[in-house]
């Protein structure tokens, strides 16, 4: 079974996540924002994939007329097994030269064809060439009576056709982000999706595949440490992904916030067996008492900026933040074995389109680490950033290379 993964706003980050989770060989980017994966991933465990469609055909149809003809011929067979004959149908198009008007005409033509095969069809009209995650979710396209057909033109010129099987639960993400009782704009608001990506980059599952098993579920014994846990978003997402969570932060108030947020999580989702521990501790010196298998964190980002700082202010902030990161990495190196892998989101200041990286990035080898690279993504593209934001988050995947 092969799946088309429709990637998020920053496709390189989504690709790195898929590669880390399933291995480079399992992932084939077919165009900039779509990848083919050799299985059906669990979308609830991925922060960077918006939709997943089961691939059912790869063809060479060139013109839109040919594509319409092909769909009229094949869709009745593809949908013959749908248990409910009352269907709602939608079409999403990626990278194909077609107008919205033409697409709508085709959708209605397909409705007529499917009617002749005994289906009763409700069309969900496109506002753009691709239906949004919200449209797919709220129109229940992944239910028994929903069919969203995904058409994507690959960079190899082939047409990839799939039927959507899963979509990101944007309502759940919003609740996990905004309904937490304790939030703090000053420490930053890490989106839960990005927290999932950081965890997936930290924990390379592919290495741990047991023969014959897909190893989708993290065993409960694996512990994720977040030494800069703040309000606890990474710990929350690690728990939801099946890990044991271990959090520390230099500020007692943050630990209280994390505790309140995780208690809310357990209560609101009625989760009885969440395993987590928290401690107030300075990440640059603390010796963590409990064993941990990986570190996933958004480290100290320095003060937030709403406008570009002058050079002197920027240099001072960069230096302060750099010292904390350097000491933190030294501290972790003392407590981990060669091969230990982790992912930390560190600040990258973007001013007038120029990127100012943390200086520590040039000293990783000396600190006992190697920055990992990816087959399907360049490290320079792994900076999570929104238009106009001054402090982006650079995603660093590090492994320990020797005992220091
Ligand atoms: C960018 S915030 C992390 C926010 C977090 N991801 C969340 O979900 O709220 C960085 C956190 O690092 C903490 N911090 C700063 N210096 C630290 C240090 N030396 N050791 C441990 N925590 C520190 C701050 O108190 C803050 O909560």
Cα angle, residue 389 at apex, residues 332 and 349 outer, rounded to 5°: 45
The CB of 257 under 6 Å from ligand 1? The reply is no
Q: Is 329 in the pocket of ligand 1 (CB under 6 A)?
A: no
Q: By the 8 A CB rule, do 255 and 249 touch?
A: yes
For the entire predicted model, the pTM comes to 0.95
Query: Could you tell me if the CB of 282 is within 6 A of ligand 1?
Result: yes
Instruction: State in Å: Cα 280 to ligand 1 middle.
Output: 11
Report whether pLDDT(210) > 70.
no
How many whole angstroms from its chain centre is CA 181?
A: 24
- What average pLDDT does the segment 77-83 reach? 84
69 confidence band (pLDDT: 50, 70, 90): very high
pLDDT of residue 402: 64
Residue 211: predicted pLDDT:
41
Indicate if the pLDDT at residue 230 is higher than 90: yes
* Sequence-ordered list of residues with C-beta below 8 angstroms from that of 362, at least 6 positions apart, any chain: none
CA distances from 155 to 17, 32, 33, 217, 227 (A): 21, 8, 11, 33, 42
Q: How far is the CA of 25 from the centre of ligand 1 (A)?
A: 36
Give bridge partners of residue 349 from the DSSP assignment.
Answer: 356, 391
Query: Which residues does residue 49 pair with via DSSP β-bridges, in sequence order?
Result: 7
Question: CB 305: neighbour CB atoms within 10 A?
Answer: 15
Residue with the bigger pLDDT between 300 and 144: it is: 300
Closest CA to 244 of 274, 206, 272: 274
Ligand 1 centroid vs 292 CA: distance in angstroms? 18
Query: Ligand 1 centroid vs 186 CA: distance in angstroms?
Result: 10
Query: Is the minimum distance from the CB of 235 to ligand 1 under 6 angstroms?
Result: no
Angle between helices 252-268 and 233-240 (to 10 degrees): 30
Query: Residue written as tokens 């490290």?
Result: 379
User: How far, in Å, is the centroid of ligand 1 from the Cα of 282?
Assistant: 10
Q: What is residue 186's predicted lDDT score, i.e. its pLDDT? A: 80
Give the lowest-confidence range in 176-185, 206-215, 372-381.
206-215
Confidence of residue 221 (pLDDT cuts 50, 70, 90): low
Pair of tokens at residue 96: 């194909």
- How many whole angstroms separate alpha carbon 252 and alpha carbon 224? 20
301 CB near ligand 1 (under 6 Å): yes
Calculate what percentage of the chain has a pLDDT beyond 70: 95
Q: Is 62 helix (H, G, I), strand (E, B) or coil?
A: coil
By three-state DSSP, how is residue 137 classified?
A: helix
- DSSP assignment of 274-313 equals --EEEEE--TTT---SS--SEEEEE----S--SSPPPHHH
320 CA from centroid of ligand 1 (Å): 14
Q: In what order do the strands lie in the sheet with 49-59?
A: 27-31, 34-37, 3-7, 49-59, 159-167, 146-153, 86-94, 120-123
232 within ligand 1 shell (Cβ under 6 A):
yes
Atom of ligand 1 lying closest to residue 284 CA: 19
Distance 236 CA to ligand 1 centre (A): 15
What is the per-residue pLDDT across 161-175, written as a single tens digit (0 to 9) for each? Answer: 999 999 999 999 999
Predicted confidence band of residue 205 (pLDDT cuts 50, 70, 90): low
Neighbouring residues of 388: CB distance < 8 A, sequence distance ≥ 6: none
Check if 190 has its Cβ closer than 6 Å to any atom of ligand 1.
Answer: yes
Whether the CB-CB separation of 51 and 166 falls below 8 Å is answered with yes
pLDDT band at 212 (very low <50, low <70, confident <90, very high): very low
Residue 213: the pLDDT is 41
| Residue-wise pLDDT tens digits, 104-118 | 999 999 999 999 988
Q: What is the pLDDT of residues 335-388, one digit of tens each?
A: 999 999 999 999 999 998 899 999 999 999 999 999 999 999 999 999 999 998
Distance CA(54)–CA(36), nearest Å, equals 10
Nearest to 66 by CA among 98, 32, 111, 112: 98
Q: Which of 158, 155, 165 is nearest to 58 (CA)?
A: 158
Specify the DSSP class assigned to residue 185: T
Residue 255 Cβ contacting ligand 1 at under 6 Å = no
Q: Which atom of ligand 1 is nearest to the CA of 184?
A: 9
Q: For residue 208, is pLDDT > 60? A: no
The confidence score (pLDDT) of residue 86 equals 84
CA 246 to chain CA mean position, Å: 21
In this structure, the residue with its CA closest to atom 5 of ligand 1 is: 230
228 lines ligand 1 (CB under 6 A): yes
Residue owning the nearest CA to atom 16 of ligand 1: 300
DSSP 8-state assignment for residue 209: P
258 in contact with ligand 1, CB cutoff 6 A? no
Q: Which atom of ligand 1 is nearest to the CA of 327?
A: 19
From 344, 341, 343, 357, select the one nearest 391 (Cα to Cα).
357
Q: Is the distance from the beta carbon of residue 194 to the nearest atom of ligand 1 less than 6 Å?
A: no
pLDDT tens for each residue of 281-294: 999 999 999 999 99
For the chain, percent of residues with pLDDT exceeding 90: 85
Task: Say what the pLDDT of residue 98 is.
Answer: 95
């Amino acid at each position: 079974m092969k799946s088309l993964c429709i990637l998020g706003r920053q496709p390189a980050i989504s690709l790195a996540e898929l590669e880390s989770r399933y291995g480079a060989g399992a992932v084939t980017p077919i165009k900039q924002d779509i990848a083919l994966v050799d299985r059906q991933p669990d979308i609830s465990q991925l922060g960077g994939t918006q939709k997943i469609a089961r691939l059912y055909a790869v063809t060479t149809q060139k013109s839109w007329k040919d594509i319409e003809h092909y769909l009229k011929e094949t869709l009745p067979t593809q949908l013959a097994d749908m248990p409910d004959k009352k269907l709602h149908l939608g079409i999403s198009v990626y990278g194909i030269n077609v107008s919205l008007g033409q697409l709508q005409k085709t959708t209605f033509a397909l409705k007529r064809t499917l009617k002749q095969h005994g289906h009763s069809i409700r069309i969900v009209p496109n506002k753009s060439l691709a239906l949004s995650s919200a449209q797919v979710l709220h129109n229940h396209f992944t239910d028994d009576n929903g069919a969203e057909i995904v058409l994507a033109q690959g960079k190899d010129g082939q047409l990839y056709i799939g039927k959507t099987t899963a979509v990101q639960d944007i309502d759940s993400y919003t609740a996990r982000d905004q309904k937490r009782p304790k939030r703090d704009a000053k420490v930053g608001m890490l989106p839960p999706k990005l927290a999932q990506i950081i965890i997936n980059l930290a924990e390379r599952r592919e290495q741990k595949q047991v023969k014959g098993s897909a190893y989708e579920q993290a065993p409960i014994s694996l512990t994720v440490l977040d030494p800069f846990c703040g309000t606890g978003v990474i710990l929350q997402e690690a728990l939801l992904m099946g890990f044991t969570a271990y959090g520390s932060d230099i500020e007692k108030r943050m630990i209280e916030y994390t505790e309140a947020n995780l208690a809310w999580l357990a209560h609101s989702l009625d989760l009885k067996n969440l395993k987590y521990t928290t401690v107030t501790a300075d990440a640059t010196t603390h010796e963590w008492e409990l064993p941990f298998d990986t570190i996933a964190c958004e480290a100290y980002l320095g003060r937030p900026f709403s406008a570009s700082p002058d050079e002197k202010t920027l240099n001072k902030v960069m230096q302060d933040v750099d010292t904390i990161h350097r000491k933190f990495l030294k501290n972790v190196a003392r407590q981990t074995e060669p091969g230990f892998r982790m992912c930390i989101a560190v600040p990258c200041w973007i001013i007038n389109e120029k990127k100012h990286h943390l200086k520590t990035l040039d000293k990783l080898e000396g600190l006992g680490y190697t920055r990992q690279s990816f087959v399907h993504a360049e490290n320079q593209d792994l900076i999570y950033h929104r238009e106009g934001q001054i402090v982006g988050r650079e995603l660093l995947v590090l492994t320990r290379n020797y005992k220091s």
